[in-house]
């Protein structure tokens, strides 16, 4: 049973205000923690070893940054009485993420085997594959990624999203730090903590979980405008980041005025026009003006792609040499929401 530890009195001064990781070599449910490899706004991620098979896995620990604290070396609980409801709700959503992933089998979606309860919190066991995050890759390269790279990553990602949408789920947190690049550039979509079951015509408070630059205007609302086109916008914004080397301006700035030049203007002559038009199409502010499904954008990219593409540039190839691979699953502490999201005008 998850709740107050039966043996500890939980004095306030015994709680740590930061998020220290579990000790290395800690054993949980048959998995030995090797080291921390990543973190997000709601979790810490460890490289662990199955003690029976000796396989390496990614062990994800529910540990929300804003309203949880660790007591001693292991136990996690709400940071105060005022945070109990948020902590419990987040833990339920953590289990929902596992349930969602268990229904989705795709080469570009991170696999999950099971979850368990320990230390007052929840853990999930994910497949582990070497690689680096797209965020770090863009940072190292400074943008300007090749057409070959774009066509290696994004049709595969959109194909995975099509499966997610077909099961009436949305991801709602697509961004470079949630995309892992395996050797050869094969993408792996991570972090389904914002995903929720889609009921067309019904709003959801989860629509308020936003990431500036990647979330479109309707994601700040609680209305019925959330749909596959919402994830499509985030894909378009991620593609634009691959060219620019930085995140697009927040949707609020783009609504207020011309905060972002269209890709067909900003990158004219450096990329094929069909690719730039596809990015601009995906990033339209009004949902009705975007591709209405992931498959629509995927098919557009594949239909316009040349049959033969040159190999990646030397710099891109070097970035995937084994000694260059990073072990981190997320880039630092990615907080997955805002509590003071503005109210947006209806756009659809």
Q: Is 60 exceeded by the pLDDT of residue 5?
A: no
Q: Is 70 exceeded by the pLDDT of residue 310?
A: no
- Residues 264 and 229 reside in one and the same domain: yes
pLDDT at 82: 95
CATH number at 269 reads 1.10.510.10
pLDDT at 236: 98
- Cα–Cα distance measured from residue 39 to residue 29, given in angstroms and rounded to the nearest whole number: 21
pTM: 0.78
pLDDT band at 325 (very low <50, low <70, confident <90, very high): very low
Domain assignment present for residue 3? The answer is no
Contact status, residue 109 vs residue 98, Cβ threshold 8 Å = no
Q: Is 70 exceeded by the pLDDT of residue 11?
A: no
Q: 61: domain range?
A: 21-127
- DSSP of 171-183: ----SGGGEEEPT
- Residues 185 and 232 reside in one and the same domain: yes
- Residues 61 and 136 reside in one and the same domain: no
Q: How far apart are the first and last CA of the chain?
A: 45
Work out the mean pLDDT of the chain and round it to a whole number. 81
The percentage of the chain sitting over the pLDDT mark of 90, rounded to a whole number, equals 57
- Residues 202 and 118 reside in one and the same domain: no
Structural tokens at position 280: 């601009």
Domain assignment present for residue 340? The answer is no
- Cα–Cα distance measured from residue 262 to residue 50, given in angstroms and rounded to the nearest whole number: 49
Q: Is 70 exceeded by the pLDDT of residue 335?
A: no
Q: Is 90 exceeded by the pLDDT of residue 316?
A: no
Domain assignment present for residue 304? The answer is yes
Query: Which among 111, 127, 143 is the end of a domain?
Result: 127
Could you give the number of structural domains in the chain? 2
Contact status, residue 264 vs residue 280, Cβ threshold 8 Å = yes
- Residues 51 and 95 reside in one and the same domain: yes
Contact status, residue 69 vs residue 79, Cβ threshold 8 Å = yes
Domain assignment present for residue 51? The answer is yes
Q: How confident is the model over 179-226, as pLDDT tens digits?
A: 999 988 899 998 776 655 554 444 444 445 789 999 999 988 766 688
- Residues 117 and 160 reside in one and the same domain: no
Q: How many CB atoms lie within 10 A of CB 310?
A: 9
pLDDT at 318: 43
- Residues 307 and 243 reside in one and the same domain: yes
- Residues 217 and 266 reside in one and the same domain: yes
């Amino acid at each position: 049973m998850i709740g107050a530890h039966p043996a500890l009195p939980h004095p306030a001064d015994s709680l740590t205000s930061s998020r220290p990781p579990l000790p290395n070599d800690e054993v949980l449910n048959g998995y030995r923690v090797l080291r921390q490899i990543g973190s997000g706004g709601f979790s810490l991620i460890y490289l662990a070893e199955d003690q029976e098979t000796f396989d390496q896995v990614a062990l994800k620990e529910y540990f929300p940054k804003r309203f949880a604290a660790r007591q001693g070396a292991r136990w996690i609980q709400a940071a105060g009485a005022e945070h109990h409801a948020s902590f419990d709700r987040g833990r339920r959503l953590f289990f929902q993420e596992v349930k969602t992933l268990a229904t989705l089998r795709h080469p570009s979606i991170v696999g999950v085997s099971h979850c368990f309860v320990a230390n007052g919190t929840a853990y999930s066991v994910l497949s582990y594959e070497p690689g680096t995050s797209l965020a770090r890759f863009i940072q190292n390269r400074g943008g300007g990624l090749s057409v070959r790279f774009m066509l290696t990553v994004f049709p595969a990602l959109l194909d995975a999203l099509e499966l997610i949408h077909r099961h009436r789920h949305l991801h709602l947190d697509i961004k470079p730090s949630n995309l892992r690049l395996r050797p050869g550039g094969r993408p792996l979509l991570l972090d389904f903590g914002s995903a929720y079951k889609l009921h067309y015509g019904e709003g959801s408070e989860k629509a308020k979980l936003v990431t500036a630059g990647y979330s479109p205007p309707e994601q700040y609302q609680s209305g019925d405008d959330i749909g596959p086109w919402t994830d499509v916008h985030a894909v378009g914004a991620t593609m634009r980041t691959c060219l620019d080397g930085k995140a697009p301006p927040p949707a609020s700035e783009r609504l207020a005025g011309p905060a972002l030049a269209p890709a067909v203007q900003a990158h004219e002559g450096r990329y094929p026009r069909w690719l730039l038009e596809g990015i601009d199409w995906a990033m339209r502010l009004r949902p009705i003006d975007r591709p209405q499904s992931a498959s629509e954008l995927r098919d557009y990219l594949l239909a316009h792609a040349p049959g033969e593409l040159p190999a990646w540039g030397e710099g891109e190839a070097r970035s995937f040499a084994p000694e260059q691979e990073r072990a981190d699953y997320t880039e630092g502490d990615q907080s997955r929401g805002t509590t003071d999201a503005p109210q947006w005008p209806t756009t659809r």
